Amino acid sequence: MGRELYKTKYGKLLLGDTIEVYKNHLSRYYSGKFQLIITSPPFPLNNKKKYGNLQGDEYLRWFTELAPMFSDLLTDDGSLVMEIGNSWESGRPVQSLLHLECLLGLVKNPESELRLIQEFISYNPSKLPSPAQWVTVNRLRTVDSYTHVWWMAKSDFPKADNSKVLRPYSKKMEKLIASKKYNSGRRPSEHAISDSAFANNNGGSIAHNLFELEQIDPNRDVRLPHSVLSFSNTNSNDYFHRRCRKEGVDLHPARMQAGLVSFFTNFLTDEGDLILDPFGGSNTTGYVAEKLKRRWIVTEINEDYAYNSIIRFEDPELGSVLEII
């Protein structure tokens, strides 16, 4: 069923292959129970990584066959959020369509009820130049600097509340709200702006589906939702990263950004809801869920990464009691 490695006040990590854990445990006790499944699965890279990744048709077949499992585990109004990067054709300066085929494979799988609700883009200007052969050696392509984040669900109306993930107002918008002086009327875009359109202070503006994890324009403030900023600004120097550097612990090479997990957790769940990450890695999802008082289950097949993730829950600011089984 997958060995329980540790548990906390709100969750537990199961060590084992997620499909086997599902067949022997999750399908029996957790069918229809997860409000959110959020994960960054192994990317279909051309070069093998320590965390394990398939390629080509083998990857597509494996990925598509996850759809019935996800559909079974989600509540009727639950959400599936997956982050996945781009891949390139082996030995060619040509971007692969594999990630798009994977998305279509999920939502068109006849044994599931999934549909794409919305796509998000996570832009990271600090990513190393890749694919290196075609960017830094031959200089034929630009840097691949973003990942796709797909929000899927079994219903057209999954539980969601964008008022819980508002962005800070821009300085210009704050002035408009304060002065209530602006040009109302019809715009060239044919939008009609009423006299009271900007009269109310709603606590922030509605979030965009682009996550700008660092500033694109140095003269403009990044206006990520507060839930993202609270994790993003200190991500590289938080307790987990400091401890790993100090103790020489190898970090998982494809960690999901904590700010993304925080955003979707706040956006799509309430306190007490149950969250699953079937490819936990260093267990960013469990840490964020613990901090936000959501119940969680994480599975991870790599024993080293699973044990290393214990460090996250030793963070004194988290205030969590960890029990190693």
Q: Please give the domain boundaries of the chain with CATH numbers for all domains.
A: 3-164+206-314 (3.40.50.150), 169-203 (no CATH)
Spatial contact of 158 and 117, defined as CB atoms under 8 Å apart: yes
- For residue 183, the model assigns a pLDDT of 58
User: Hey, is 232 helix, strand or coil?
Assistant: helix
Range 44-48, long-range pairs (CB < 8 A, 24+ positions): 44/87, 44/96, 44/98, 44/99, 44/102, 45/87, 46/87, 46/88, 46/90
In sequence order, which residues have a C-beta less than 8 Å from that of residue 218 and are 6 or more positions away? none
Strand partners, 83: 149
Tell me if residue 123 falls in helix, strand or coil.
strand
Beta bridge partners of 4: 14
b/e for 44-82, b at 16 or more Cβ within 10 A? bbbeeeebebbbeeebbebbbebbbbbbbbbbeebbbbb
Is 298:286 a contact under the CB 8 Å cutoff?
A: yes
How high is the pLDDT of residue 56? Answer: 74
Distance CA(14)–CA(24), nearest Å, equals 12
How many other C-beta atoms can be found within 10 angstroms of the C-beta atom of residue 38?
A: 29
- Listed as ranges, residues in the chain with pLDDT below 50 are 46-52, 232-234
Contact 80, 74 (CB under 8 A): yes
**DSSP code of residue 205:** B
Give pLDDT, residue 152: 98
Residue 78: per-residue pLDDT: 98
Positive/negative CA dihedral, 214, 118, 44, 253: positive
pLDDT at 176: 74
How far is C-alpha 151 from the chain's CA centre? 9
Q: Report the alpha-carbon angle 288-19-80, nearest 5.
A: 45
Enter the pTM of the model: 0.88
CB 73 within 8 A of CB 154: no
